[in-house]
Chain A
Amino acid sequence: MSSSRPAGRHPLAGLFWRSRRLRIGSLLAAPLSWLGVVYLGSLVVLLITAFWSLNEFSGQIVKGFSLENFQTLIEQPVYRRIIARTVSIAAVVTISDILLALPIALLMSRASSLRTKGLLVVAILTPLWASYLVKVYAWRTMFAADGVLNWLLDPFGLTVPTSGYIRVWIVMAYLWLPYMILPIYAGLERIPDSLLDASGDLGARPLKTFRNVVVPLLMPAVAAGSIFTFSLTLGDYITPQLVSNTQFIGNVVYANVGIANNLPLAAALATVPIVVMILYLFGAKRLGAFEAL
């Protein structure tokens, strides 16, 4: 913006125009107080709560420093299992979504007309925005004993998987797939054709070009998509509750906030996904995930 602008008619306008800091400050005051105080403040409260404890007899929260919750999480095998299960399913869902997203994203970016591209983008956005809860509920009905999946599988002598882990894996891979397709598609769109042509001219077969040219250039996009598949999986407790009897971190957190009424333990457990996501975000940043988007 021009710095030689004459002062406005109102004296304050002139002051605002001259003082950059004042303008930035007035723009950011409200949003930063909201996100900084309400949100970051809440995260700090969460961390503090994790060090509180529960009075064994009265069940009242004791607001003093204690490592009791973390000790419980480390020492009790049930919590270790739940943490391992949750992190592993986040990884499994992420990998499945990468594999499922690649073919459709490739077709969208390299083998489609502009019109088809537009249609496919809408076709992927529509289920993404169609109510999350309804989609989970739909899977619950599909997994039901007399549901559509058993009806389809019956002629082959098969039945729906009963394992909670597998059911949750299928549904979460389903739920977050569009979040992986879109960044990968956008990443492929950014790769210039000339690079692929050059690779082909130098004698590389398509598969080799894919492995040596496309995949390295696609890493930031994959990392970006995986932030969402990973984080959403870690934070979802509704899906396990509706399609399985298996417990994940989210289920234990929710149960302890509500029924079990042990907020400090829930808070301590909630620090696990925070730590995992911070590590993940650092890794993704190194892969260039943030620059890719």
Chain B
Amino acid sequence: MPITGPTKLFLRIATAATLAFLYAPLVVIVIYAFNSTRVQTWPPRGLTLSWFSAALANTGARDALLTSIKVGVAATVVALLLGSLMAYALARFDFFGRTSVSFLVVLPIALPGIVTGIALNATFTQILGLDLSLLTVIVGHATFCVVVVFNNVVARLRRTPTSLEEAAADLGATALRGFADVTFPQMRSALIAGALLAFALSFDEVIVTTFTIGDAQTLPIWILNNLSRPRNLPVVNVVAVLVIILSLIPVWIAQRLSSDPVTAVGTVRDTPAEPMI
């Protein structure tokens, strides 16, 4: 369907408007981070860099950042292990219940966040008698991060022919050696991309976190707790900008690592993806 003339003009205007809509809130927050007054009015009366040093000196925010990194790294390690094992099983073998298994991976993100949150909360507090802590947050995050690693690795394995693995085996390599020298190098960048996205997903998560965290604060929880304190808003704005940047860096790297940006980065959170086929 060749799109020409007025239709194309309409699509261009609609696209420009949509992009403006998508970016406007981010731009507003970035500008507020430089706002010289404590009160947020638009347009800002003046600009300053002083809130940045205030934010860096804020121990609450710094502790929260550290907590977020701890949780993100731990959840990513678990997700990496579980997701890649599962991806390998599903991409290389056909077995009874394969579709159900692939459905199980996407369930934690296909079901609404409050469902995952309250289900884990009920299990931890009522059945296991655990106190909510960073450990319970990590378990929650790892559960929905598995799918990110899984999607990236399974997509890579599907595109990688098994002929090289077979050649290695024919040449006498043991299964372990074949994996270490042939399969793993082919999967490596997909694993890194999956890990980065899992970390980004964990770093950003609020809803499941609020149901599984005790007294500790991840960075999003710190922001949430400080929104009701007008005095702290200038520092919150700066932290917000830093959070945007910190969430985007892993995603941009991950995107460069994967050959197909839409199926790798795009689908991680937005499609039940290929395993369903």
Contact = CB atoms under 8 A, between A and B. Distances in A.
B230 to A, nearest CB: 11
Interface in B16-74: 18-19, 21-26, 28-29, 32, 40-43
A237 interface: yes
A128 interface: yes
Interface in B162-209: 162, 165-166, 169-170, 172, 174-176, 200, 204, 206-207
B26 A130 contact: yes
B86 interface: yes
Contacts of B204: 129, 131-133
A35 B11 contact: no
Interface in A207-229: 209-210, 214, 224-225, 227-228
Interface in B83-120: 83, 85-86, 88-89, 92-93, 95, 101, 104-105, 107-108, 110-116, 118-120
Given A8-B175, A35-B146, A129 B248 contact: yes
A181 B22 CA distance: 12
A141 B143 contact: no
Contact of A31 (B15, B83, B243, B255): B83
* Interface size grouping (class) on chain A: 35 or more
Contacts of A228: 269-271
* Max count, chain B CB within 10 A of own CB: residue among A20, A34, A122, A199: A34
A17 B175 contact: yes
B38 to A, nearest CB: 13
Interface string B229-260: 00000001000100110011001000100000
Contact of A128 (B110, B113, B240, B269): B269
Contacts of A185: 262
A142 B272 contact: no
B262 A250 contact: no
Contact of B29 (A17, A138, A151, A281): A138
A151 B174 CA distance: 69
A5 interface: yes
A131 B113 CA distance: 16
B113 A235 contact: yes
Contacts of B88: 27
Contacts of B10: 103
A242 B261 contact: no
Main SS at interface, chain A? helix
A65 interface: no
B20 to A, nearest CB: 11
B216 interface: no
A104 interface: yes
A169 interface: no
A263 B226 CA distance: 26
Interface residues of B, number: 102
Contacts of B101: 28, 32
B112 A273 contact: yes
Contacts of A79: none
Nearest to A229: B270
Contacts of B261: 118, 121-122, 125
Contact of B22 (A124, A150, A235, A270): A124
A43 interface: yes
A254 interface: yes
Nearest to A28: B89
A1 B166 contact: yes
Contact of A131 (B24, B122, B142, B244): B244
What are the nearest 3 A-B pairs in CB distance?
A235-B112, A290-B276, A138-B25
Interface of B: 1-3, 7-8, 10-12, 14-15, 18-19, 21-26, 28-29, 32, 40-43, 78, 81-83, 85-86, 88-89, 92-93, 95, 101, 104-105, 107-108, 110-116, 118-123, 125-127, 139, 142-143, 146, 162, 165-166, 169-170, 172, 174-176, 200, 204, 206-207, 210-211, 220, 223-224, 227, 236, 240, 243-244, 247-248, 251, 255, 261-263, 265-267, 269-274, 276-277
Given A128-B270, A270-B118, 16 more contacts: A1-B169, A5-B169, A39-B143, A49-B126, A103-B18, A107-B14, A111-B12, A130-B26, A131-B240, A131-B244, A132-B204, A137-B240, A147-B40, A148-B43, A206-B3, A291-B276
Interface of A: 1-2, 5-6, 8-10, 13, 16-17, 20, 23-24, 27-28, 30-32, 34-36, 38-43, 45-46, 49, 61, 63, 100, 103-104, 106-108, 110-111, 118, 120-135, 137-142, 144, 146-148, 150-151, 174, 177-179, 182-183, 185-186, 193, 196-197, 199-200, 206, 209-210, 214, 224-225, 227-228, 231-232, 234-238, 242, 249-250, 253-254, 257, 263, 266-267, 270, 273-274, 277, 281, 289-291, 293
11 contacts: A1-B165, A13-B175, A32-B104, A35-B107, A38-B123, A49-B126, A111-B12, A137-B227, A138-B29, A210-B1, A242-B227
